[in-house]
Every structure is written in C-alpha cells, then in structure tokens.
Amino acid sequence: MSIEDENLISHVQRVLSSANRPELCKSVLPTLLRCISEVGEKLRSSQQVAAVGSSNAFGDEQLNVDVLAEKIIGAGISKCSSIITASSEEDPIERSSGEGASEAKSTGTERYALAFDPLDGSSIIAPSWTVGTIIGIWDGDSALGGVPAEKQIASLLGVYGPRTTAFVAIRVPGITPTCFEVGLDQKDGLSTCTIVQPRVEMPTGPFKTRYFAPANLRAAADDEKYFQLVTHYMRSKYTLRYSGGLVPDVVHALVKGHGIYVSPVTATSKAKLRRLYELTPIALIMECVGASAVDPTSGEDILSKPIEDCDERGGLICGTTEEVAFAKQLLGLS
C-alpha cells in the first residue's frame, strides 16, 4: 500500500468518524479507486478501439474497451468480501461477487451491492474524448427494491482524460454527506491516489460564467418547451460545454462550480440513461455537493423512486439547484 493510499484511508476515516464502516473505508473504496486507476492506464495503451462482435444484455454493441474495463473492475471487486452482489451495464444481473461474499452475509458484517457502468461514453473514445466509469454502492445484498435515497450510500465517477481522476460521494446515516476528488496514477506498477479536493461543493453564486450542456439537442426540434429552454440559455449568453459524454459533462459542472445538464425524454426521443447504472450514482454525487438531480418528465428527485429492474431508463436534469428549478419551471414540471 502506498503513502497516497494511506492518505485516502485517513481521509475517509475522518469522513466516516461516527459511522462503523471499516470495510467501506479500508477495502471497498480503495479497491474501486485502484480499479479506476488501472482502467485509465489500460485505456492509454489501447490504440485500437473496435467492436468485439458481441452485444450486452441490452442489445448494445460491445467494444473491446468496454470488455476490458468490465474485466478489471470485476476482478477487483471479487476480492472484497463485503461486496455481496454486483451487476453492470455489460452484465445486468446481480451476481455473487466473490469468494468471501457468503461468509460476510452469514456473519452479518458490512454487506454491499455494487452497480456500475464500466465505461460510460465508449462511443466517443475513438477520437480521444474524455470518458468515465460510474459506480453506485448500495447497502444490503441488492440494489433493487429500496428507495435509492436511503439505500445507495456512495458513488464514484472515474474520469479518463489527460488525467485520471475520480469523484467520490458518501452519504451514510450519522455523518454529513460529502464529496471529494482524488487524482489517480500508476507508478512502478502500483496505483497511487492523491487527494485533490478534500471537499467538493457547488457554490450558490453569484456566478461570473454560466454553463449549459443540452443533451439530445435534436429533441428541441420536436419539443417546444425544450426548444425554449435551450433558446433561453443562448440568449442569456450561457457558455456551451457539451461533449456527448455524461461523465465529463457532469464533472465540468463540479469543477467549475456551476452548470446545468439536460437530457430530455420526448415522444420521439425515448429515455436512454439507465437508472441503476447511471442516473442514481450521478444523482447522489449531485446531492452530496449541494446540487440537484431530477427526472425531466415528472420533476421528481431521481433518488426518490425505487428501482425494480436493471433496465429501467429515464432522462436527467442535474446541476446547480437554481438552474434545475428554472428548467423545471420552463418545462412545466413545477
């Protein structure tokens, strides 16, 4: 274990000072961050990005980099005895995750379910655009059935660009919700982790520059309210920051301290984002930094509705709280 890993564990111990979560602190989070670091390193040496001739259970074509990231994370979490089950966008069935899972389940120690998107945005990786990994950590043996606001206790966003970084949000009973940023690297074959921002928060303004990311912009041609919303951003001289990747667009708002991301659902543009693997982990990050994440069809908080099936999908409005409230109003959701 490197000094940087010890700093990570010390930081998480301070965050979890009044919560009895030793496995989350010393095993689960460090393991997942090492996996993200390894994925980042492997992506830098994967010069060929190509379809492997197979599809995941949702029918999405798999790329070699999708399979690579899935294998790295799967191998890592198999060593964490407190992760009882895991599922991913590439393998959307909750399965026993490791040799020690049954022992942890029988002894009543910490028990977690993992749900992750191993490589979100792989369709934009060929031109070397930033992509990411999205991970949600849930209390108990399953991520399904319970209210996400109560059961999902942590999430991670791994960011693969010029640097490899990760944002970690933790919200467990008895502590103040928090989010922090780490820098990840590989040195002499070992993963190193450095605390970049011990506390990530979304300020309340005033804002010198306002940012917007309008996903699925073609939907504005069919939805007048979405058209009006996008027009408002342009006329109000917001700065466009949209890459087509969910992780970098959300992370941009976290780094800049302001932003609004809108992925609408219309009659001609069906819901694409999967609630379990993308929406709920993103929403937990948003809430832990003092921002908001809501459903663009109902206006309800993303974390307020239980997930019953791994393939449930939805849209997303997330970002600075006042911007989310305005988007809801203009879209007729409040």
pLDDT at 2: 55
Report the SS3 class of residue 198: coil
Burial 202-234 (b: 16+ CB within 10 A, else e): beeeeeeebbbbbbbeebbeebeebeebbeebe
Q: Please identify, in words, the CATH class of the domain defined by 211-330.
A: alpha beta
Please determine, for residue 53, whether its predicted confidence score (pLDDT) is greater than 50.
Answer: yes
Compute the average pLDDT of residues 231-257.
Answer: 97
Q: Where are the domains of the chain?
A: 3-197, 211-330
pLDDT grade for 1, boundaries at 50, 70 and 90: very low
**How many angstroms separate the CA atoms of 235 and 138, rounded?**
42
Residue 97 has a pLDDT of 77
Alpha carbon separation from 320 to 140, 248, 294 (Å, rounded): 31, 16, 12
Mean pLDDT, rounded, for 60-80: 89
Average pLDDT score over residue span 196-203 = 95
Q: What average pLDDT score do residues 20-43 get?
A: 94
Distance, in Å, from the CA atom of 33 to the CA atom of 168, rounded to the nearest integer, reads: 9
DSSP 114: E
Tell me the whole-structure pTM to 2 decimals.
0.93
Worst-scoring range by mean pLDDT, 61-70, 135-144, 238-247, 255-264? Answer: 61-70
CA 98 to CA 96: how far, in whole Å?
Answer: 6
Examine residue 148 and say whether the peptide bond preceding it is cis (omega within 30 degrees of 0): no
- Report the pLDDT value the prediction gives residue 18, as an integer from 0 to 100: 78
DSSP 115-180: EEEEEETGGGTTTT--EEEEEEEEESS-SSSS-HHHHEEEEEEEEESSSEEEEEEE--TTS--EEE
What is the maximum span of the chain, computed from C-alpha positions, in angstroms? Answer: 60
pLDDT band, residue 106 (cuts 50/70/90): very low
Architecture of 3-197 per CATH?
2-Layer Sandwich (3.30)
**Contact criterion met (CB below 8 Å) for 52 and 63:** yes
**Across-strand partners of 131?**
160
Q: What is the pLDDT of residue 34?
A: 94
Per-residue model confidence (pLDDT) at position 261: 98
Stronger pLDDT, 21 or 57, i.e. the higher one = 21
